[in-house]
Amino acid sequence: MDSEEPFGDEIPNFDICGTVFKELFKDIHVLDVDAKTETAASSENSGRKSTENKQNKRKRSIVILEDDEIEEFQSKQVAKNTVKGTASAVRRLEGWYNDRYGILRRRHSFGKRSKRATSSGSASDASDSATSSDEENNVTSHNRKGRKRNQEVDIVPCKKRKLSDEDPGEKEKSKLGLVENRIRTRIKAHIRARLKIREAEELRLLEIKALKENGWSKLIPHEVLLRIFKQVVSDIGPVPFLCRMSRVCHSWKQVASEAMLWREVNLSTMSIECPRSAIDSTIEKLAASKLKTVRELSLDGWSELTDTGLKAIGKHCRSLQSVVLSQCGSLSSKGVSSLASKCRQLKMLDVAMTKIDIPWLHRLTKRLGNQLEELCLMNCSRLGGEQVLPIIQERCPVLTALDLTGTNIRKLNVEKLQAGCPKLKELFLANLLLHSTPISTDVEQNGFPHLETLCLACGSIAGVPRTDRFLFRLLRTSTNLKKLDVRGLQRISPEGLQGLPITSLEELYFSDTHASFVLMSVVIEKWHHSLEILDISSNSGVSDESMVLMKNFGMPRLFNLDLGSTNLTAEGVRKALNASPRLKHLNLTSCRGVPRGLKQWHGGAKIQNLISTLEELESGANGERRRSE
């Protein structure tokens, strides 16, 4: 009998099903199947049966190895210890797997090896029956067909081979089929387990990767991060803080893009950092990406901003309600008009120190006059004549703040302005060569009942006739006035000040008014209980006597006192400090009667040092007086 092993010197290719086929054989131990001989049914077939029994007594083993044992299995020594039935079992298992999962593979032919195994068996046993010869012929023809198919088509699905009913080893093969079924069951369970493990591992790797990419920032909840950003934005504004935070990671970018963080944007400081050539492009990018939901926008100081950038704001910022364009000297009236026409929700507009003119004011009040609440026209030199105030008082009925400081307005009809804008809370008429018109008898004299701030400061303008009568016409019904600025008004009398209906004034700017002791006594007596800021600088009539009056009445809420360029001495300063327990800011510049080293601004801890210094000076003066006596 030929001693050649069924695989010969060539090892079976267990990679015929690819790497997936290898996975099928993991963790499955060697399963041995002993083929037992059966008793001969008749004496006529005893010779044939004895020969088959000798062949079937050989142990048929299906070797299924671990990954680290595959290389060892593929060695020649393991191949020589493998029985002939291994090739047949592997071929059947391979066919089942391909039929089950429809895998197209390169077919591996065992025909040559099977033929050699069959021919060696025929040479050793000459008494084989015709049935055995037919089986060998069938196997040989099957292998020939397989080789022919392999030559024609490289990749084909493997087909199961039907077992002949006349096969004498049918029972042994059926037992081998049971083994194959057991292998299939274990393979399926093994595949499912391996897939679950692999999916869990992939998920864990993804989580680790995401944690590495996002780091601790991923661990902060969205709501907490939003509150942190909101607090920072309220302190320093959204730009450039939110722009920088959006570059940290994806989650921070989502939080930084929240609409509630972009409602109030102040870009006034950003104009210093932005190059002149990139101002319009910068505004266009911000308007298209970050400022779509902005409600209040400040572009104060963008002197190089042109109508192009303003057009981008009008195109994208449709919910804009307040815009500050002060000191934007490159803007024209046409550009500002286009912004007003597109932003239909605009309620506040600041165009101080720009080139707007009266035609622009006509267009603005015609479109937005009924909803405009705040209008700042400060130092717009092209606005002048007698048309400005009539336009405003006829078309802006809900106006609450109006600033006409530094314009070329010459006449003011107080009663008509009060009738046209009865809701005014802030009125600025500083630095105007203003002459009041006679009292209008055809208009009801309702005054400004809601007025809280009035500024009539004249600065260096001389010869401006602002008298007690003019002041009373403006403040006829303004009992809730909190801030009064009459700096430079030198024709206010104690009687006129006493006749004002103001009860709880908090801020009084009274410098350079030629204030005398009598006028100061009216101020202190009338508002000593409510004044928080008092400016009586540049008044030579203010002396230590006024400070004694302050000490007698007391100034419990006063925290800011300006006594610069007055006739106070160290004694008067000490009395003012004793009268104001909450004082935090004190100006003593240019006070000739105050000792050297004290003629400066004092604030915070310096106030306490000033008190101790004044006490030392007083004690020293008393000691010298005693020694002289």
Q: Is residue 73 part of a domain?
A: no
Residue pair 432/407 in contact (Cβ under 8 Å)? The answer is yes
Check pLDDT > 50 for residue 102: no
* Residue 153: predicted pLDDT: 39
* Residue 362: predicted pLDDT: 92
Reported as a pLDDT band with limits 50, 70 and 90, residue 202 is confident
The answer to whether the predicted template modeling score (pTM) of the entire model surpasses 0.75 is no
Lowest mean pLDDT: which of 44-48, 107-111, 296-300, 536-540? 107-111
Residue pair 579/551 in contact (Cβ under 8 Å)? The answer is yes
Structure-model confidence comparison of residues 575 and 433, the more confident one:
575
* Residue 387: predicted pLDDT: 86
- Per-residue pLDDT averaged across 315-333, rounded? 91
* Residue 53: predicted pLDDT: 53
Check pLDDT > 90 for residue 453: yes
Structure-model confidence comparison of residues 10 and 212, the more confident one:
212
* Residue 204: predicted pLDDT: 80
Question: What is the rounded (10 degree) CA torsion for 435, 436, 437, 438?
Answer: -130
Q: Is residue 235 part of a domain?
A: yes
Check pLDDT > 80 for residue 522: yes
Query: How far is it, in rounded angstroms, from Cα 459 to Cα 479?
Result: 26
* Count of domains observed in the chain: 1
Check pLDDT > 70 for residue 420: yes
Reported as a pLDDT band with limits 50, 70 and 90, residue 215 is low
Residue 603: name the closest of 588, 618, 590, 615 by CA.
Answer: 588
- Per-residue pLDDT averaged across 348-374, rounded? 92
Q: Cα–Cα distances in Å, from 319 out to 258, 295, 314, 348, 351?
A: 15, 6, 10, 13, 19
Q: Cα–Cα distances in Å, from 583 out to 299, 497, 507, 607?
A: 36, 25, 14, 8
* Residue 321: predicted pLDDT: 94
* Residue 39: predicted pLDDT: 42
Lowest mean pLDDT: which of 112-121, 366-375, 396-405, 503-512? 112-121
Reported as a pLDDT band with limits 50, 70 and 90, residue 139 is very low
Evaluate the omega torsion of the peptide bond into residue 240 and state whether it is cis, within 30 degrees of 0: yes
Any idea which residue has 């722009």 for tokens? Answer: 243
Structure-model confidence comparison of residues 58 and 190, the more confident one:
190
High-pLDDT (> 70) share of the chain, %: 66
Structure-model confidence comparison of residues 31 and 276, the more confident one:
276
Structure-model confidence comparison of residues 505 and 597, the more confident one:
505
Structure-model confidence comparison of residues 56 and 556, the more confident one:
556
Lowest mean pLDDT: which of 181-195, 519-533, 561-575? 181-195
- Per-residue pLDDT averaged across 191-197, rounded? 85
What residues make up the domain containing 225? 194-261
pLDDT tens-digit series, residues 523-533: 999 999 999 99
Query: How far is it, in rounded angstroms, from Cα 532 to Cα 388?
Result: 35
Q: How many CB atoms lie within 10 A of CB 479?
A: 14
Q: Is residue 250 part of a domain?
A: yes
Amino acid at 402: L
* Residue 190: predicted pLDDT: 81
Structure-model confidence comparison of residues 177 and 332, the more confident one:
332
Check pLDDT > 80 for residue 65: no
- Per-residue pLDDT averaged across 45-60, rounded? 49
* Residue 33: predicted pLDDT: 37
Q: Is residue 238 part of a domain?
A: yes
High-pLDDT (> 90) share of the chain, %: 34
Query: How far is it, in rounded angstroms, from Cα 48 to Cα 129?
Result: 7
> Which segment, 38-52, 243-257, 513-527, is predicted with the most confidence on average?
513-527
Q: Is residue 243 part of a domain?
A: yes
Structure-model confidence comparison of residues 142 and 332, the more confident one:
332
Residue 83: name the closest of 182, 4, 171, 178 by CA.
Answer: 4
Query: What is the overall mean pLDDT for the chain?
Result: 76
Check pLDDT > 50 for residue 330: yes
pLDDT tens-digit series, residues 112-135: 444 444 444 444 444 444 444 444
Kindly state the tokens that stand for 462: 């001389």
Check pLDDT > 50 for residue 587: yes
Q: Is residue 403 part of a domain?
A: no
Residue 294: name the closest of 331, 322, 334 by CA.
Answer: 322
- Per-residue pLDDT averaged across 376-389, rounded? 88
* Residue 4: predicted pLDDT: 38
Reported as a pLDDT band with limits 50, 70 and 90, residue 155 is very low
